[in-house]
Amino acid sequence: MRKILLIISLLLLVACSNDEVKYDGVPLKIAVIGDIPELNNEKIQFEQILLDEFSEDTLRISTNFDAVMITPVMFEEASDDRFIKVYDNSKMPIIFFDSTKRHFPFTREGTTFKTAHWESLNNGSHTTIYLSDIDANREDAWYFYLKDEKELDILYKEIFQKVETL
């Protein structure tokens, strides 16, 4: 009986530790700078990379990945001015996950995540996808909203669906 309870407890723990995301589009490979999201979906593959690796070998990263996701633990470093050209020249979607200040601290010279005025940048969004193509003189951003932490799986699904179309 104890073994059965232990097995059931372990199954529940595993099931609760990773959110299942119901994304059923094309398989995506996403480079992550920061913490890798804990979610279940066989079509989403995350691989952790370093910020310097992204800046030094943008071509290889853009060839091998569908998008780059930057998470909050890296926001201050990632907002350093030396990375602006990297973001503007990457030609691949960059996901600023859980950035209430959108993409502006990362793409505007003289502004860091810490110094950016939150009130003026907050549009209520949770996450921003940024895509720039200097050659085409184009800069686009898409905003994703999270009403309730319980709907995080829906947020991920919307982000992955957008990356699929870019």
Is the CB of residue 83 less than 8 Å from the CB of residue 56? no
Give me the pLDDT at residue 102, please. Answer: 79
Q: Which residues pair with 141 in a beta bridge?
A: 130
Residue 15 has pLDDT above 70, yes or no: no
- What are the phi and psi torsion angles at 130 (to 5°)? -115, 135
What's the pTM? 0.81
Chain segment 105-153, per-residue pLDDT in tens:
888 888 877 777 766 556 788 899 999 865 656 678 899 999 887 889 9
pLDDT single digits (tens) 82-112:
998 898 888 899 999 998 877 878 888 888 7
Q: Look at residue 161 and tell me whether its pLDDT is greater than 70.
A: yes
pLDDT at 69 over 90: yes
* Selected residue with higher pLDDT from 125 and 12: 125
**Backbone dihedral angles phi then psi of residue 67, each to the nearest 5 degrees:** -165, 165
What pLDDT does residue 52 have?
93
> What is the β-pairing status of strands 138-144 and 127-133?
antiparallel
Instruction: Report the number of distinct structural domains present in the chain.
Output: 1
Per-residue pLDDT averaged across 58-87, rounded?
91
- Give the range of the structural domain holding residue 125, as residue numbers without chain letter: 2-165
Q: Which of 4-8, 38-42, 76-80, 129-133 has the lowest mean pLDDT?
A: 4-8
pLDDT of residue 10: 36
Tokens 């995506």 locate to 28
Per DSSP, the three-state class of 157 is: helix
